[in-house]
Amino acid sequence: MGLDRWYQLYHHKRMRNTRPISWIKAARKDFQKFPKEAQEIVLDALTIAAEGAKSSLTKPFKGMGSGVFEIALPFKGDAYRTIYAVGSLGFGG
């Protein structure tokens, strides 16, 4: 990787303030079964969420309280759904 490209990636990443995305193991395995193109679209929407915004594909997930959202992607005659939470739900230790 050339120095110019490294500089662009390094400074672009620093300016974006992206939070890390954590996965539940079973959900990650299910997500990896999505078609590659659908994965890329959903990952873009998750990245937008990690940066503090909301994708046009994202809707509040009813019945789970504020901070829980659904990405519903119609894709080639199928639908792929991903649920995510913003903030902490108290999982882990």
Domain boundaries, the chain: 3-85
Does residue 6 have a pLDDT over 90?
A: no
Side chain identity at residue 61, one-letter code: F
What is the share, in percent, of the chain residues with pLDDT greater than 70?
76
**DSSP for 24-50, written as a single string:** -HHHHHHHTTS-HHHHHHHHHHHHHHH
Whose CA is closest to 34, among 78, 92, 87? 78
Mean pLDDT computed over every residue of the chain: 82
More confident residue, 15 or 46: 46
12 vs 9: CA distance, rounded Å:
5
6 vs 1: CA distance, rounded Å:
7
